[in-house]
Structure 1
Amino acid sequence: MNLNKIGSLAMATLIVLASVTLLSIVPVSASDDFTLGIYGNANQDDTIDMRDVTKIARMICWLEDEVDLADAKYDGNINVLDIIQTELTILRRDKTLTVIDDTGEAVTLSKPVESFVYHGHNSYVYETLRAIGVADKIVGTSDRFVTPGKCRYSEAYYPELCGFTNVGILKSPDYEVVNTLRPDLVISDAEEYYDRTKTPDIPVIALDVRLSNFREATMKFGYIFDSVEKAEEYINWYDGWEETVNEKVETISDDEKPLVLICYYKPGTTSFSIPVRDHYRSVMVHAAGGKCVGDEFDGTGYVKVDAEWVIDRNPDVIIFSGANQYVGYDIEDPSDAIALINDFTSQPELAEVNAVKNNRVYLVSHSFILCGGASGLIGTVYYAKWMYPELFADMDAQEMQQEFVTDFQHLDLNVENCYCVYPPPA
């Protein structure tokens, strides 16, 4: 056995012994519903702490089998350097960090990350970065956030991005601009939108913030930007609201659940692209205690149906997602929203549909009350309020939205003065 190995074993043995004491004072994570995909997370839970240091030390001493995430240095070896790297991550003093992104790619970043480009289509990635206090590090973003008339453009909700540096359209990034900006990191929310090889000197991470991975993605961003405590605060706020919704929905029997049509709508629409069972919009309806007309189809995409098909299913509730001209943070007059709903409900062939007969047709912002991040949970609460006004009478969706806007989006914006949904639930 060489001297380096002997030294590593001696060091690891001391760490194992010391960690017995340390572990007695380290708080246990409140939630283990995911494995945080960051190298250094040796015990494969949802955080990086002294338990990971102990785990790595035990692996070095051959007391436990090695796991890939124990290789904190990401150099193919598990040794004392991984212990040091993990301790630096815990102390927020690490100079590199290796994160597994949504593609399964291990991306190694230099730290601290002082600047980033966000090239993506979803608002909730940028909302997450704003929530954990790092939005001021952005140096460029895609055209849909910065160009008037585009789907994410908002002078009220994204004032800091109006006229901001444009790095191109979603499916055709301007790689020359990105290379000129030379950010520390490029963030995308899907692999297909960005070709990593076009900016080879800049690390690129594909990391979306869906309802299904909200906690893990938020924590990853927390570690990337050394804002773990704020990420945990954001998650705790989210968990509190989600738990309340879940407790109420659990009391609803299947027979009580209304049938819901949810889809995009614009004047003159005669066919509807409805989300199927596992689509994220359907998932939101299910979380709110409803059944979707698209549940009879497997998959995660859409199925196109005609008005006759909708009439035959006879939904109890209809939720349309509308464009920015109808609903959103910039809309202070609901006239266009009302007109859009009337355009649908005034069609004679729809008169006997339950949702039309009972005035249960609603409109939600396609751009801002979305399907991921905390805004997706806000949408879920609005859906629940519409479906079960009595059961959810003690939950105020607008209050939740205001907390989100004020405490986590850091905006001086009164949501009572705008219409992100119509009609607002009582």
Structure 2
Amino acid sequence: MNKNNSIVIAITFIIFVMLVAGLFLLSDFPKKPTENNTITVTDLAGRTVSLKVPAERVVLGSSRDLHEFAAIEGENFSKKIVGWGPDLKDTDKDTYDKFKEKYPEIENIPDVGSFSKGTFSVEKVVSLNPDLFTIPLWDYEKAKDDIERLEQAGIPVIVIDFWAKPLDNPPKSVILMGKLLGKEKRANEIADFYNDQTNIVYSRIAKITRQKPTVYVECGWKGSDTYGNSYSNVGWGELINRSGGSNIAGNFSEQMPTINPEFLLDKDPDIIIISGANWPAAPSSLRLGYYTKEDDSRELLKGYLNRPGWNTLKAVQNENVYGVFHGCCFRIYNYAALQAFAKWFYPEDFKDINPEAGIKEYHEKFMPIDYSGTWILELKES
């Protein structure tokens, strides 16, 4: 081999190495956080927060945000959650058990306590050395002092929201979480899917000019013997408004009032909706979720019709009584409840829509666990 050939080979090898290195740097290969990975974001409480990304160790102030976190992170979600609040297990045992079936390691995630019960521990969170602490907007006011202490300890705190503005903030919260977890593409896909599903309702509701049906919604956690709370203009109340209904509790100053039975009988709503989940404390409560059968849930729903005076209500007489999974009030798949409400309020305009299928599709596209159970319920058997 002559000298010129050796030079050509050497130059070719150097160019090859440089090309490979360039492709490596331009790829999506995970990089360890450095000072150059620090970003500044605005959370759902309007707070400006700077932190390093991607966050690898996360504490969820509310474990009920597991659905969104797992959808963004995928199969490895449990490796990033180093602590969480106890509320998922306490308020939605079906969802907790469904995740535990496939990912039994979630039982070992440390409990950092609850803001609502006064058991939250700043010291516990600090001991877990997280890169990020998330908290729902509904806990923000009562947690301000704890947030300040966490930030003084160098732990970034991000407020997210799936409840106060349930049809505006979920995609914003998912996109924000995607940025912080280094999963922007995935988060944008979820947000796009969400917006497509809600626009099915908005595009049709905008064309409907008929009188709005009156609606009563109740959280069914206390069971059929005791009235549970209703909602004014948050949570379920907002979903009623946006799906074209007239909420009979809409003018209450309380966010979650428990109405007087006489008030309900006087208003005589066109539609009654009871939310359900796995609430073992009240055996007669409406149960919906991953481990429920439609016929069993329907029998529980019928129990509410035996309340004094309900036989006189036109919603009962016309069988316009429905059930919806309570988690749809504060999760990314609340578009299914929006679709169900619109279909119940305007049957002819939404007769081609299957809200339950929308929840199944979400699981197939984004969730690391499988769809099962019953989430949307009609008193009338199909």
TM-score class, shorter-chain normalisation, is 0.7 to 0.9
The gaps in structure 1 that reach 5 residues or longer are 1-91
Give CA deviations for 1:50-76 in whole Å, capped at 9, x if unaligned. Answer: xxxxxxxxxxxxxxxxxxxxxxxxxxx
Counterpart Cα distance in 1 of 2:53 and 2:303 = 53
Counterpart Cα distance in 2 of 1:358 and 1:237 = 34
1:349 to 295, 309, 316: 309
For residue 329 of structure 2, give the secondary structure of its aligned residue in structure 1.
coil
Q: Does 1:360 align with 2:320?
A: yes
Counterpart Cα distance in 2 of 1:242 and 1:330 = 23
Q: Does 1:168 align with 2:100?
A: no
Q: Report if aligned partners of 2:230, 2:259 keep a CA contact under 8 Å in 1.
A: yes
Amino acid at match of 1:97: I
The alpha-carbon deviation at position 312 of structure 1 amounts to 0.7
Q: How does 1:8-407 map onto structure 2 within 5 Å?
A: 94-120=36-62, 123=64, 125-133=65-73, 135-136=77-78, 137-145=80-88, 147=89, 149-151=90-92, 154-157=96-99, 159=101, 160=103, 161-171=106-116, 172-190=119-137, 191=140, 192-193=142-143, 195-199=146-150, 200-209=153-162, 210-255=166-211, 257-265=212-220, 266-269=222-225, 271=227, 273-276=229-232, 278-297=233-252, 299=253, 301-325=255-279, 326-334=286-294, 337-366=297-326, 368-371=327-330, 373-407=331-365
For residue 315 of structure 1, give the secondary structure of its aligned residue in structure 2.
coil
Amino acid at match of 2:378: P
The alpha-carbon deviation at position 388 of structure 1 amounts to 2.7
1:205–1:424 Cα change, 3 Å: farther
For residue 215 of structure 1, give the secondary structure of its aligned residue in structure 2.
helix
Amino acid at match of 2:343: K
Amino acid at match of 1:202: I
For residue 369 of structure 1, give the secondary structure of its aligned residue in structure 2.
helix
Counterpart Cα distance in 2 of 1:328 and 1:162 = 23
Counterpart Cα distance in 2 of 1:272 and 1:398 = 25
Aligned length: 323
The alpha-carbon deviation at position 109 of structure 1 amounts to 0.6
The alpha-carbon deviation at position 423 of structure 1 amounts to 3.0
For residue 67 of structure 2, give the secondary structure of its aligned residue in structure 1.
helix
Q: Report if aligned partners of 1:327, 1:421 keep a CA contact under 8 Å in 2.
A: no
Counterpart Cα distance in 1 of 2:68 and 2:306 = 40
1:300–1:378 Cα change, 3 Å: farther
For residue 96 of structure 2, give the secondary structure of its aligned residue in structure 1.
coil
Q: Report if aligned partners of 2:216, 2:247 keep a CA contact under 8 Å in 1.
A: yes
Counterpart Cα distance in 2 of 1:204 and 1:155 = 28
For residue 173 of structure 1, give the secondary structure of its aligned residue in structure 2.
coil
What's the Cα RMSD here?
2.6
Counterpart Cα distance in 1 of 2:303 and 2:288 = 19
The alpha-carbon deviation at position 344 of structure 1 amounts to 2.0
Counterpart Cα distance in 1 of 2:181 and 2:57 = 10
Higher helix fraction (1 or 2): 2
Counterpart Cα distance in 2 of 1:214 and 1:300 = 23
Give CA deviations for 1:246-286 in whole Å, capped at 9, x if unaligned. Answer: 1221222241x21110112333545453322x223111112
Counterpart Cα distance in 2 of 1:118 and 1:268 = 33
Give CA deviations for 1:93-115 in whole Å, capped at 9, x if unaligned. Answer: 94101122233332111223111
Counterpart Cα distance in 1 of 2:216 and 2:169 = 25
1:100–1:158 Cα change, 3 Å: farther
The alpha-carbon deviation at position 314 of structure 1 amounts to 0.6
Give CA deviations for 1:394-425 in whole Å, capped at 9, x if unaligned. Answer: 11212211111121122233x3xx12232388
1:408–1:342 Cα change, 3 Å: same
Q: Per chain length, whose mean CA-contact separation is higher, i.e. which structure has more relative contact order (CA < 8 Å, sep 6+)?
A: 2
The alpha-carbon deviation at position 355 of structure 1 amounts to 0.7
